[in-house]
Amino acid sequence: MRLEAAAFSELAENTKDDPGFRVPAVDWERTGRDVITMEWIDGVKMNDLTGLAAAGHDLKAIAANLVQSFLRHTLRDGFFHADMHPGNLFVEPDGTIVAVDLG
């Protein structure tokens, strides 16, 4: 799990100035070989389309942001999120996409 936690830290550094996308901070004091501890995410899972719409999110804008973020990570940073599916992506109240579980 420490390798995945290190990948989270790398992705966080790569994307710290990217609008509309972030990863949760790793709590290194509580992360070990078998567990990753991160900050709490207060958002709606991206696969909950009803919840996203009810929260007032623009689904087309979220989709466009997701595609742009993925391309930035891959092409600019050479970083690939190995488990990017809607269950591993949350949308915060301000519309920011938060990626969890890098696979």
Amino acid 72: pLDDT: 92
More confident residue, 55 or 8: 55
pLDDT band at 66 (very low <50, low <70, confident <90, very high): very high
* 18 catalytically annotated: no
Domain residue ranges of the chain, discontinuous segments joined by +: 2-99
Closest CA to 41 of 3, 94, 79: 94
Burial of 96 from C-beta contacts in 10 A (0-12 / 13-18 / 19+): middle
Which residues have CB under 8 Å from 10's CB, separation 6+? 79
Q: Give the residue-averaged pLDDT of 73-102.
A: 89
User: Does position 81 have pLDDT exceeding 80, yes or no?
Assistant: no
Q: Which of 18, 48, 83, 101 is catalytic?
A: 83
